[in-house]
Amino acid sequence: MILKPYMARENSLHDATYVYVTSERAVLSELSLRVQAWASENLGPMWHPMFVTDPVNHKVYDWEKPSDAYYMLKAMVKIPNNPLLGAVKPHPQILSLARRVLGSRNSWAHYSQDEQMLSIKSDIQGLVNFAAAAGLDVAGAVKAASDQLDKVTAGAMPVPGKSKPVAVASVAATTTAPLRRPRVGGSWDEELPTGEIELNAKLRDALDPTTGASLRAQWPSEELAGAAIARWFALKPTTPRLRYDPRDGATVGFLEGFPYLFGYVGEEPETPPEQYRGFLGQATYILTGNVLLSEDSGKPLGMDAKDLAALVTALNAKGIDQGEAFRVSNYNDLVHLGDEGLTRVFTIGG
């Protein structure tokens, strides 16, 4: 039985999320059935306890239910050349495609997904690519759901997310209570801030749209100001007019018409050590020895001696194994795509 992924009806993050969730369910459900049937026929009815108790397969020692597709994916990624790969169609990129799906699944399961339309679409495309390469029957249905999402989001205005009008009393209360803010790079679901900033492409600067004055002096240093403004330009926001809250400098920009916390005018609040900041790049790097190699080109991620030493220290402290995947955010945070979601390892050049 092929589970039908949801067909998007509107240009909203809610609809895009539902497309991803139902597509993931469809792909993993068929993968589960395929692996169980193949393993029972080729490895015997006791295939699961034999597989889990084999010391070679220690990375999935806690795999309890034979039907759990998460561990099937994990086995593909963490235990190359294991016999369960016989359940899917041979493909030269099957391991990297499975790694992409596993990383997406982990980030969604632990609420660390980027929450961007482009990122959600990328995760859905990862499911499309894996299903097609693995020869799953559901591949066509997932591709159709992906195409439908592209169709409803092409040139359409986004459907506004939830908006929380701020009452007069609550505005007064915020002078003493901490302001509620998402992670830098997270979607903004509150009322838009009232302040405005103009990103002037000619001057490569952030200006007060009323006076035309530069806002660089609002940061603790010219270096921090330049880095923040450069990040905002690099995001290529839908409109150069950003919104910001003068109370703490929280700055909101639009990507594909949806609002996100771009950062702060001035000094940023402290971030929990393992929470990454900003927006992730699309390149994935695999830990090979003490270096990170691009999954696509095989080239190492550029780091100086200090960062390489910090990488080794962080890997040892966190017990991160060989073959694990990483990405880099626009804050230069090195992010581990781990089983517990996306976590910051350290900041390159920081």
Question: How do 195-200 and 241-244 pair as beta strands?
Answer: antiparallel
Q: In what order do the strands lie in the sheet with 258-264?
A: 205-207, 195-200, 241-244, 250-255, 258-264
- Give the list of residues 6+ apart from residue 193 with CB closer than 8 angstroms, or none: 243, 244, 245, 246, 250, 251, 252
Ranges of beta strands (E only) in 164-276 are: 195-200, 205-207, 241-244, 250-255, 258-264
**Cα 160 to Cα 12: distance, rounded to the nearest angstrom:** 7
The residue extents of the domains of the chain are 13-153, 185-264, 285-347
∠ at Cα 133 (130, 137), nearest 5°?
Answer: 85
| Tens-level pLDDT at each residue, the chain (350 residues) | 668 999 999 999 999 999 999 999 999 999 999 999 999 999 999 999 999 999 999 999 999 999 999 999 999 999 988 999 999 999 999 999 999 999 999 999 887 777 789 899 999 999 999 999 999 999 999 999 999 999 999 876 776 543 333 232 323 333 445 788 999 999 998 899 999 999 999 999 999 999 999 999 999 999 999 999 999 999 999 999 999 999 999 999 999 889 999 999 999 999 999 999 999 998 999 999 989 999 989 999 999 999 999 999 999 999 998 999 999 999 999 999 999 899 999 999 97
What type of residue sits at position 90? P
| CB-neighbour burial class of residue 138 (10 A; exposed 0-12, middle 13-18, buried 19+) | buried
The overall average pLDDT reported for the chain is: 90
**Cα 335 to Cα 194: distance, rounded to the nearest angstrom:** 33
Q: What is the pTM of this model?
A: 0.81
